[in-house]
Structure 1
Amino acid sequence: MNDYLGIIVIVVVVALLAAGGMFFLFRPGGKAVPPPAEPPEVKPAPEPQVKPPAPEEEGSTTTVPPPVKPAETVIKAPELEVPPPSAGRMVRLRSRLARSQSALGKGLLELLSRDRLDDEVWDEIEESLITADVGVAPTQAMVEELRTKVKVLGTRTPEEVRGLLREELLKQIDPNLDRTLHVAKHGERPAVVLVVGVNGTGKTTTTGKLARSLVGDGKKVVLGAADTFRAAAADQLQTWGDRVGAEVVRGPEGGDPASVAFDATAKGIEDKVDVVIVDTAGRLHTKTGLMDELGKVKRVIEKKATVDEVLLVLDATTGQNGMRQAQVFAEVVNITGIALTKLDGTAKGGIVISVQRELGVPVKLAGLGEGPDDLAPFDPEVFVDAILGD
């Protein structure tokens, strides 16, 4: 019995111990958390195997393409224009001149061809000449000369009348005047041309056209933009210079014109050019201070070089007002020649005669249109023939 109880006690104890072990083993939270799984190892992709080039065989050639360069923006300089030479320009432009001046010539020829030339007809002839801005004194001289020759001739054919009038007009214009534009270098020093005139006469445009004409004759030119009171004048001159490759010397707006003229002359000497052309401000001839300044510009240039030409630009359409301007300018600077602009736009071509008579200097240049090559050396015979027509 005792042995039986002992066995029972042992079985119970073993059962309790087993139950306790199971409790500790399977209680909530009692089970150990397994460690996180490690991510699979990522191996780098193998580099592509570049097959080495096959060894060159003797005598073979391999062309290796050049590396590709990024595209570049290329800014091309404007192509320089090649102006025509000045010779023969007025002949080519004669038709333009004839369109404006032929009315005068035809009227005179008609009057002189009448069977009877009484005082009334001669008064009409005189009026026609004065209306064309020939001037009173030159007109009276012409009429007197024509009356004498008509009396000598007696009967007059149309050819004789035309010949008489042509001879008299040429005499008044004086083809023997030296109309040469003096632009020859003085050794290493350039010739200097000073361009003067009143605002609105086409002075800056004439300066640009003159530079273009000289370049067409094979000369190297520097332009001086001494009209510092008008920014547009310097810009305009710059455009003219850029078109034919002539360098332009400028100054600050409102700066000293004489300083710009001096620098332009110095630049011309440094670059060994043929001609320096200085465009001055459009002077109002009533303002004494401005006219004195023009004299200063000329004196400053003469410290570096000789002023070979002083060209006065006149608008042919202004008539006798242009004559008054010419007289005042002549008192300030020694004018050597006249550039008559817009000569194709007026029937008053007689100003050629009157301005030469008053100033004693020749018309050297004629503006016969708005094109860049419409400035021509003045030719008296072409001018008279355009007036009289064919």
Structure 2
Amino acid sequence: MQQSIKMIKSLKISQEQLFMLSVLLVNGGNYLYNLLLGRILGPAQFADAAVLITFLLVLSFVAMTFQLVTAKFSVLLENNVLINFLTTIYKNSTAIGIGLGILIIIFSRQLQTVFNTSSSSMFIIFGVGVPLYFVMSVNRGVYQGKKEFKKLSITYQLEMLSRLVLTISLIYLLGLKSSIVIAIGILLSFVFGLIPFNTKNFNLNIKSQLLASDKKAIKHFLLVTAFYELTQIIINNSDILLVKHYFPSHDAGLYASLALIGRIVYFIAWMFVMLLLPEVVQLKKEGKDPSKILFKYILYIAAIAITIIVGCALFPNLAITLLFGEQYLDVAPLLWKYATATGLFALSNIFAYYYLSLDKYVPVLISAVFGVLQVVLIFLFHGTLEEVVYMQIIAMVLLLLVQLTFYITGLEIKK
């Protein structure tokens, strides 16, 4: 027994490995959250919940702009310059968060109409939490850039666990199966996601004083990253919102369950993106070639995507029944097809973030073009849910081919 304990203690787990394990747990917890809501609420009511969950994903992409900017410049800047930068980014992100939150609250009734939801109050509650999410994202960016993955893991774990436990508890304690309860759970999870909060590297009481060159570089990267995250929002969430608009609530709920299962590959790939950016920036800073890092992560994501797609193709009924229940079985034949679309997007995404880390922005523009193409295709062809999925596969195949062409062409130019 003592030897076993010594062996366990002797095993050294790096912060990167700890973060990867943490991300798997967070994704698992988020999936459990969605699955429980799907089973408790049923397809029609789950459609409302899916709108809030999609709004949460959209918010995460918008706030990710500040997280990535913070992560990158936490690597490049040091000492007082870093403190000045963090002061500026916290102030700006909080101001934008407050502005977006107010807009969501003001237009809550219009949002209810557009997305055919049962309540406008859920958007008001969600809007209150938006500024907190922006502050949380900057805090995470500091930990990501400094590779303090243990603290970064804790923030994600606490956000996920609090949302899961509090939402399900409120549903059972209050006996309310409503979108308002779900919105309250999301709002409270933002508070827990602020723990642990970094306070030692910035001072909100001082006036920010950055060099003109630093300001220019930060502003440029911020704008390009914001543009890219906008393309992420379009590609990742437009299908659910369009389906909610064009289809009855029951069908929209079925599609939401399909999307949540099919996106497993994307959310697993996300953890590699989080590790990729600081590594690439550091290697570039040291004058080393970061292309081997890219190749390694592409292999990881391709292997994961193929495994999930094959599993969805071989056992679609089993996956749907176990995860959501028999009432969602109508979309089982579409499961592997949707997983294919998200797998293709996950691979394309790695190329875009790699080049974004190197301050090369053509892949960002490429993603934007095909994000718009996906929306146009769904707008034109949405007779059935299957047709919606096929439109995404077409757009994502073309996106990956163009990204690969850009990468290969770049290698040829170097030669």
Using structure 1 for the length normalisation, give the TM-score: 0.21
Between Structure 1 and Structure 2, the one with more strand by share is: 1
- Say which one has the larger Rg: 1
Using structure 2 for the length normalisation, give the TM-score: 0.20
